[in-house]
Amino acid sequence: MRSTQCLLLFCVVAAAVPTAFFGRTPGEDIPEIKANDNRLPHGSLKDGVLTIELEALEGTWYPEQRDGPGLRVQVFAQPGRSPEIPGPLIRVPEGTEIRATVHNAIPGATLVIHGLHPRPGNPDETIQLASGERREVRFRTGKAGAYYYWATTTGKALPDRYGVDSQLNGALIVDPQGTRADDRVFVIGWWENPELRAMGGYPFTKGRNAIVINGRAWPYTERLTYGVGDSVHWRWINAAQGNHPMHLHGSYYTVDSIGDGERDTPLSSDQRRLVVTELMRPGTTMSLTWMPPQPGNWLFHCHVLAHISPGLRLRPADKEPSFAQGESHHAMDGMAGLVLGINVLPSRAPPVAKQSDLPLRRLRLTAQLQPGRYGKDPGFAFALQEGAGQLTEPSGRVPGPPIVLTRGQPAEITVLNKLPEPTSVHWHGMELESYYDGIAGWSGTPGHIAPMIEPGASFVVRFTPPRAGTFIYHTHLDDIRQLSSGLYGPLIVLEPGQSLDPERDRLMLISVRGPSDNTPILLNGDAEPGPIEVKQGVRYRFRFINITPHDPLLTVSLLAGSSPVAWRAIAKDGADLPVSQATGRPARQTVSVGETYDFEFEPRSADEIRLEVFRPARAASAQSQIVVPVHVH
Ligand SMILES: [Cu+2]
């Protein structure tokens, strides 16, 4: 029954889309493309020489299910084997000579290959092959690091490719001499529907895209399994268009090196820092280390909601075979694209429960509905209550009220859902147990998986914040709509004995107003906020939060005239910066989606200054900035 349904759905979908991009024409013989998990290096390595053959050809790719929509794309392949996305992994020790025979087997297309050269390298050094042409290239690797090769048949630059040649990518990893690879390599790819793109300005959350990790989109991406305390090493390559702030749930990771494909720069111990979100721009790479502290199911995903929305699926969400079987599986149905699922197994030693001397804090967070707040669309808002205390004004203000907790003090937050639809709350940046992480149908351990919070129901969350800093709470269900409708707020953790001083502690939360496609950005809920009043000689802590749905390149600046004033960096994503990085610097910072940054600012003179939040335009009509006068007294 099920497979018949799938087949039927596939036929309906396949019939509705043009064959120019989708699948094979009947009778045509083009190979099926497999997903490449980048475990097995290509070629034979002998006496310091790697000999490989790379063939560029056309095939059919199934980024979702094998019986889902297929895409006709160009790829790299090992002759005689199934072509793969990403292309064959080239992985050798530093100093190896690579002898690659490349062959352009794409009919009627000129192939321009980048990246088959020593590192650090020149991005303009390319190899051009006419259709049918074959050539041998020889080069020595150069410096160890994570790199990639890529090609185009449309003459485009890497961040501009989107259609038939968007998957001509492969990883090129150069290992330091004498080391054994214990890492995994992930290549981000993005195929975008050329017909929809040609229409211009269409909301790509409603388009048909394939944004993939190693050739597959969520929930068909690989499941990774680790144990608590393992030292996990990953190399990420963004061989695609798009800015992707990559967010880890439930714990921090450390970025060990960053690169642009031609150069890979290891960070010294002084330059490394803990993050829960790190922005990857088009064409960049990063290597990271992560030690899972807690068992259970976790996610690593892009925080640009358009890149993980089910609306971008090739098979429209309403035509998806449902994963729901009795209990909710929001995690499978409700996301797509750039999401990786991780199962962490418990360690053999039982965890040592830390007792706290501090009394349990009991809070209640209520999600409420405000009909007609955004024209025909309702607004959503959070209200907060502590113990028997007053509910914060349920006036529908966004952001939600700050939840202020204390490091080391256990908190119990009852999330009560008064919306007419299910919801779920994620405690962004918080190190907690998987069950409370807020991904309905995923968070938790086998047999103990967190549900959605149904209308009228509540869900009790328990955690003890292990560090003081700036965090976020936000919905993680029907994300684009629920988030832009108002379900988010700042989550601040203070050191024991401290209280939030609204004079010195300035929350700067950036979000959007309402669920339309082209909605303005807000600073603390306001599109045109009033002046900021500060006093000379007083030390302020500015806590910046970007919880917009799709604005990964927001930049905040404190300017005097056209120049930034000075501030001191304190923390990123809730973790204090190491002393070597907690330094004074020009007051300008890109804050990507899902990042938080804390800066200390002490006004020194009564100069006229202003705070600017700059938003690179996504669409012609999107408002580009918020400018707030800062009055120094
Ligand atoms: Cu993304």
Judge contact between 60 and 31, C-beta under 8 A: yes
Locate the DSSP E strands across 116-203.
126-129, 134-140, 145-152, 169-175, 183-192
Q: DSSP assignment, residue 618? A: S
Ligand 1 center to residue 248 CA distance, Å? 13
Token pair 């004498």 in the structure block, residue: 178
Ligand 1 center to residue 498 CA distance, Å? 37
Q: Cα separation of 489 and 380, whole Å?
A: 12
Average pLDDT over residues 135-163: 96
For residue 452, what are the CA distances in angstroms to 35, 193, 423?
A: 32, 32, 6
Ligand 1 center to residue 293 CA distance, Å? 25
Ligand 1 center to residue 366 CA distance, Å? 30
Amino acid at 430: M
Q: For residues 314 and 577, which has the higher predicted lDDT (pLDDT)? A: 577
Please state the φ and ψ torsions of residue 458, each to the nearest 5 degrees: -135, 165
Please state the φ and ψ torsions of residue 319, each to the nearest 5 degrees: -105, 0
Ligand 1 center to residue 556 CA distance, Å? 20
N-term to C-term CA, the chain: 73
For the chain, give the mean pLDDT: 89
Ligand 1 center to residue 247 CA distance, Å? 10
Judge contact between 134 and 57, C-beta under 8 A: no
Taking the CB of residue 484, how many other CB atoms lie within 10 A of it? 28
Q: Cα separation of 149 and 119, whole Å?
A: 12
Average pLDDT over residues 519-547: 95
* Ramachandran bin of 441, using left for φ above 0, alpha for ψ from -120 to 50, beta for the remaining angles: left
Taking the CB of residue 415, how many other CB atoms lie within 10 A of it? 22
Ligand 1 center to residue 242 CA distance, Å? 6
Ligand 1 center to residue 514 CA distance, Å? 21
Confidence of residue 621 (pLDDT cuts 50, 70, 90): low
pLDDT in tens, 90-132: 999 999 999 999 999 999 999 999 999 999 999 899 999 999 9
Structure tokens at 477: 């269900």
Ligand 1 center to residue 276 CA distance, Å? 15
The pLDDT of residue 316 is: 57
- The closest of 220, 213, 187, 207 to 323, measured between CA atoms, is 220
Classified as helix, coil or strand, 4 is helix
Structure tokens at 67: 């019986």
Judge contact between 63 and 220, C-beta under 8 A: yes
Ligand 1 center to residue 30 CA distance, Å? 31
Please state the φ and ψ torsions of residue 467, each to the nearest 5 degrees: -145, 155
Q: Do you know the residue count of the chain? A: 633
3-state helix, strand, coil in the chain (%, to 5): 5, 45, 50
Ligand 1 center to residue 284 CA distance, Å? 13
Classified as helix, coil or strand, 463 is strand
Judge contact between 403 and 363, C-beta under 8 A: yes
Ligand 1 center to residue 141 CA distance, Å? 30
Confidence of residue 8 (pLDDT cuts 50, 70, 90): very low
The pLDDT of residue 396 is: 66
User: For the chain, what percent of residues have pLDDT higher than 70?
Assistant: 89
Structure tokens at 423: 């919801």
Classified as helix, coil or strand, 6 is helix
Tell me: pLDDT of 10 over 90: no
Residues 243-254, buried b or exposed e (16+ Cβ, 10 A)? bbbbbbbbbbbb
DSSP alpha helix (H) spans, 191-313: 194-199
pLDDT in tens, 437-464: 999 999 999 999 999 999 999 999 999 9
Residue 487 makes CB contacts below 8 A (sequence gap 6+) with 367, 380, 381, 382, 400, 423, 425, 474, 475
pLDDT in tens, 292-337: 999 999 999 999 998 998 888 887 545 544 433 334 467 888 899 9
Ligand 1 center to residue 272 CA distance, Å? 23
Judge contact between 420 and 369, C-beta under 8 A: yes
- The closest of 16, 96, 93, 106 to 55, measured between CA atoms, is 106
pLDDT in tens, 48-68: 999 999 999 999 999 998 777
Tell me: pLDDT of 6 over 60: no
Confidence of residue 17 (pLDDT cuts 50, 70, 90): very low
Please state the φ and ψ torsions of residue 422, each to the nearest 5 degrees: -70, 155
Confidence of residue 624 (pLDDT cuts 50, 70, 90): confident
Ligand 1 center to residue 22 CA distance, Å? 23
Q: Which residues are within 5 Å of ligand 1 (an ion), measured at CB?
A: 244, 302, 304, 307
Q: DSSP assignment, residue 502? A: T
pLDDT in tens, 548-562: 998 999 999 999 999
User: For the chain, what percent of residues have pLDDT higher than 90?
Assistant: 76
Confidence of residue 13 (pLDDT cuts 50, 70, 90): very low
Ligand 1 center to residue 241 CA distance, Å? 9
Ligand 1 center to residue 350 CA distance, Å? 37
pLDDT in tens, 178-217: 887 789 999 999 998 887 777 765 555 566 789 999 999 9
